[in-house]
Every structure is written in C-alpha cells, then in structure tokens.
Structure 1
Amino acid sequence: MMTASANTKPNAPTAAAATAGAGAGARPRRLPLAGVGRRIGSVLVWVGLAALVVAVLYPLLWMVFSSFKDNREVFDSPWGLPSQLRWGNFAKAGSAGVVRYFTNSVLVTSASILTTVLISAWAAYGLVRQRIIGGGLVLGLLLGGLMLAPTVALIPLFNLLQQLRIFDTYWALIVLYTAFRIPFTTFLIRAYMIDLSPEVDEAAKLDGCTPAQTFWRIILPMCRPILVSAALLQALFAWNEFVFALVFISNGDLKTLPVGLMDMQSRLLTDWPVQFAGLTMAAIPMIVLFLIGQRQFLRGLTDGIGK
C-alpha cells in the first residue's frame, strides 16, 4: 500500500503542470475590433469627403442650372432642372456689360500675375541665392507686409494714386494688386528655392553665366511648379478682389467683374436668370484655370511649403 501511494503522489503535480503548460501555451483569441474600427473610420472619411463635394459643387451647379431658366422657373422649381437651355440669358448678360467687365478683369489679372510673379521670384532669388547686405532685414519687412490689412490703407492710397495720376485707371489696380501680394508670393517662392541645390549656381558660374542669366535660364525654369502655384493664387485674388476695385475705379467702362456684377444687379433688379448667367460667366474661367494647372499647383505647394 505504501508503495502504491508513493507512486501515485508524484503523478499529480505532473498532470497539473501539464495542464498549466497547455493553458499557458494557448494563444488568447483576439476580437476583430481593430479591423472594425479601421473600416468605420474609412467609411466616415468617405462620407465626410462626399458631403464636402456636395457642399462645394451643388451651389455651383444650382447657379449654372438657374442661368438657363426664366423667372417663373427660378421661383416655381428652384431645385429642379431647366425645361430648356435658354442661351439668350447669356447674350443678355453680355449686352448688359458682363463682356466689358470680363475684359477688364482679364487685363488687370493678367498684368498683376506677370508683375507679381516676376518681381517676387527675383526678390526670392536675391534673398536665397545671393549674399546681399541686410537680407535678414528685407525678409523681416516682407513678412511684416503680410500683416498689413488693405482696408486700413484706403485713405493714404487714395491720395497716393491721385498724386501719381493713376487713379481711376487700370494701373491703379495693377499696382495695388502687385504691391499687396508681393510679400506672400516672395515668401512662397523663397521656400521653394531654399531646397534647390547650390551646385547649380556654381556650375552656371563656371560656364560664364552672370547672376541674371542664371536666374532666367536655370533657376526660373526649375521653379516652374511654384511659379504656377503663385500665379494661380494671384489670379484668384485679383479676379475676385472687390474693395480696391470699388474705391479706386469710378469709370463704368473700367470696372472689373465683382463691382460690375453688383452694378448690373442694381440695373436688372428682378431678372434673376440673367444675373445667374453673369455669375456663371465670372466663375467658369477660374474653375477651368485651376483644373488645367492643378497638378503643377499641388506639386509646387508640396515641394515648397511641405519641406
């Protein structure tokens, strides 16, 4: 009996240890909570993006559809499609002055893009690639220009433009649009030029290029993405600017689209389809311009500010 009991006692810990080892070696079952969370997050992101697309596109589509309606359809079925395409609304908007306002905006915007981008690129090249005395002070002044609100300087600018004899001319808007956008555009292009290799300038100098030739023939082509970005941002600003165009232009033949459309609204009163046609004509050029240059625009911003 003693021998049997002695033989059975060691087996009990062995069985218990085996059971414990089996339990310790078994992996706990994982619940698929992480995968469900990722799927819910992805769905929420797509829902948010879809809501953003609707919020942006629907007002534009509503404006375009309303431009083809008549007054009765605008009020009876404001959310419906037009019964027919009334292209005559666009002809009426053009004869009401939209074509003239459109031409003025194109001239002012194109000129301000050219002057702003070239001056800012030249300034950024001097600050980044050339050793100039007081470069830090110049950069500080440029950054200080970002904090200047245009509306604060309306009265001094009114007197200045009269003294320069460019009040109520295209040049008044071109000069102001250029001056107030140079700080931001210079800062934008400078951020892109910082990451360009200085070996490019050294190689150009060895080939006999002057700083001006290096800028025009080498640096400027290399900065094409950020130049496109700066040009698009300047176009958006100049095309939609209202305060300067209202204060410094009194001649009806020189008014740009934002002020001209407001003047046209006061003349047309309740002819809403024609007003929507004018708004559509004003919005389409910027939309098309951004669609054409969107790749260079994004590349310029991500390669410059993103670094």
Structure 2
Amino acid sequence: MTAVTSTSASTPIAANRATRGPGWIRRAIAQLFVGLILVLLVLAVIYPLLWMVFSSFKNNSELFANPWSLPGELRWGNFERAWNAGVVRFFVNSTLVTAASIVTTTLISAWAAYGLVRVNVPFSGPITGLLLGGLMVAPTVALIPLFGLLQRLHVYDSLWALLILYTAFRIPFTTFLIRAYLIDMPREMDEAAYVDGATRTQIFWRLVLPVCRPILVSAALLQALFAWNEFAFALVFISNTENKTLPVGLMDMQSRLLTEWPVQFAGLTMAALPMIILFLIGQRQFLRGLTEGMGK
C-alpha cells in the first residue's frame, strides 16, 4: 500500500520532468545569457554617471592620480564654485525653456491629435501625412533660414527663440505619439458627454486629457529630455551669455575654468540630476503610456 502511494505521489513529478524535456536547459541558458547582457548594459549606462559624480568630489591631483578610485573626502566646494561660475543662470534658463516647451508642445499636440482622431476634419489623411513628413526634417538643415526668420520676428538671441523652435520641431512627433494612443479610445465616451450637453472644448479638457494621462506624461518626459539637452539651436541662436542654456553654458564655463576638471564635473552632475529625478518620478506613467500607445 505504501509503495502504491509513493509511486502515485511521484507520478506528477515524473510527468513534469517529462513535459519539460531536454529543451528547458537551452531555455535556461538563453535566459541567463539575456540577463547577463542586460546587466552589462545597465553597468555601461550607470558607471559613467557614477564616475562623473565621484570625480566631482575630487581635486585635480586626486583625479589624475587615481581616476577610478573613490574620492578621499566630499568636497562640496566644487559644486559651490560651479554654481557661482554661472551654472545657476544656465540652470534657470534651461528650466524656463524646458517647462514652457513642455506645456506648449504637449497641449498643442494633444489638441491636434484629438482633432485628427475624434473630429471629422477635412483632409485629415493628408494632414497626418504632412505631420509625419515633419519627422523627417533634420533641425540642422533649417539653421540658415531660421536665422533670418528669428531676426525678422525680433526674437533672435532670446529664450523666446528657443521656445518657438523646441515647440515647432517637436509637435509632429508628439502629435503622432498621442494620436496613436487616441485611435482605439471608445467614441461612446465622447457621445455620452455630448448628449449630456458638453461642448468639444469641455470634452477635450475634462474627459480626453484625464484619460490620456499616461501618454501625456510620456510626451512631457520626452520633450523635457529634448529641450534640456538640446545643443545646436541653443548654440547658433543664443549669443548672450545671460541667455545660454545648460549644454552651451557648460561648454562656455569649460573654456573659462580650463583645467579645473572637478568643478566642471560638478556642473555636469547638477545638469544631469533634474532629468534623472524627473524620470524616476514619472517612469511608471512613462512606460505605461508608451506600451499602451505602441500596442494600439
């Protein structure tokens, strides 16, 4: 009786092993290989950032003598010197331009996507194709005509110039991103609100935007990364040091600080920190918006 019980008890285990077959070893090796690749990719991304942060606490002699070691002490004075060297002004300029471009680009693109998807707009197909064509225009190709245009608009060498350019060149991509999210959204929501007496504007602000929150967060984060790190426009169309943003301002600060590398690393650390914090805060909504948009 005991033998029968033990045999019946071991049958599911034997069946499970038989079901797995010899292929589970290959799958385990493949998963291990993929995991190893992902770990290496993470190290390749994180290690340079950590090296920059550690170098910002060193002095020149410690940096060149032991470039791969930890700092002997936390020299917060490097951050103070970088801040006083102009990082504070560059930081404010980048914050203003980035925040304003996030608002303008996201709202204009959301309104355009809503019109193309939910409203019977004449020639909506060609308009969508025109927007997609805007994705193929390289910003550097338009530098010369934009130079004259901004001068005629009397916004050259001002933060308004960067705001206009950052908004205009990102609207096609952001509209396409939000449009992909709106395509499969049930139209019954709009119809029910319309029956209750809501206008198009009320439906957009009170219904569509709250539902589209994940993709709006994704669009805002992508716009923030673009505007915060953009270099070509800020270099060509801003000549006054007071109006420079962080990427160009840090390059200008490097020419003034010469060999004070730890202070420059401190400035770079302060420039990278806001985007890292912003992404960590919105990463869940960011990933959700992109995955749902791509799924549709």
Q: TM-score, normalised by structure 1?
A: 0.89
- Could you say which residue in structure 1 is the equivalent of 2:37? 48
For 2:117, give the aligned amino acid: V
Which is higher, the Rg of structure 1 or of structure 2?
1
- Aligned equivalents of 2:19 and 2:120: distance in 1? 63
1:81 corresponds in structure 2 to: 70
Q: CA deviation digits over 1:178-235, x for unaligned, max 9? A: 0000000000000001111000010010010111110001001100000000000000
- SS, match of residue 127 in structure 1: helix
Counterpart of 1:291 in structure 2 is 280
Q: 1 CA distance for matches of 2:170 and 2:282?
A: 20
Q: How does 1:20-35 map to 2 (within 5 A)?
A: 33-35=22-24
1:34 Cα deviation from its structure 2 partner: 1.1
Q: How many angstroms does 1:30 deviate by?
A: 10
> Number of matched residues?
279
Question: 2:198 matched to which residue of 1?
Answer: 209
Deviation at 1:306, TM superposition (A): 2.2
Map 1:84-99 to 2 at 5 A: 84-99=73-88
**Who is 2:91 aligned against?**
102
Q: Which runs of 5+ in 2 are unaligned?
A: 1-17
SS of the residue aligned with 1:57? Answer: helix
Asked if 1:145 is matched to 2:159, the reply is no
Q: 1:261: which partner in 2? A: 250
**Corresponding letter in the other structure for 2:67:** P
Alignment of 1:1-307 (within 5 A): 33-307=22-296
User: Against the structure 1 CA distance between its residues 290 and 31, is the aligned structure 2 distance closer, same or farther, given a 3 Å change threshold?
Assistant: closer
Q: Once the two structures are superposed, what CA deviation does each residue of 1:37-89 show, in whole Å capped at 9, x if it has no partner? A: 11211111111111011101100000000000000111001000000000000
Normalised to the residue count of structure 2, the TM-score between the two structures is 0.93
Supply the distance in 2 between the matched residues of 1:102 and 1:84 (Cα, whole angstroms): 26
Distance 1:30 1:93 in 2: 63
Q: Once structures 1 and 2 are overlaid, which stretch shifts more, 110-119 or 45-54?
A: 45-54
Q: Percent identity?
A: 71
Give the secondary structure class of the aligned counterpart of 1:305.
helix
SS of residue in 1 equivalent to 2:222 = helix
Amino acid at match of 2:205: W
Matches of 2:185 and 2:281 in 1, distance apart?
Answer: 26
**Is there any run of 5+ residues in structure 1 with no aligned partner, and where?**
1-28
Give the AA of the match of 1:90: F
Residues 137 and 40 (structure 1 numbering): CA distance in 2 closer, same or farther, change over 3 Å?
A: same
Q: Deviations over 1:134-175 (max 9, x none)?
A: 111111110110010100000100000000001111110000
Q: Distance in 1 between matches of 2:65 and 2:257?
A: 20
Shift of the alpha carbon at 1:31?
10
Distance in 1, matches of 2:119 and 2:70, equals 59
Please name the residue that 1:11 is paired with. none
- Separation in structure 1 between the aligned mates of residue 201 and residue 69 of structure 2, nearest angstrom: 58
Deviant stretches of 4+, over 6 Å: none
RMSD: 1.2
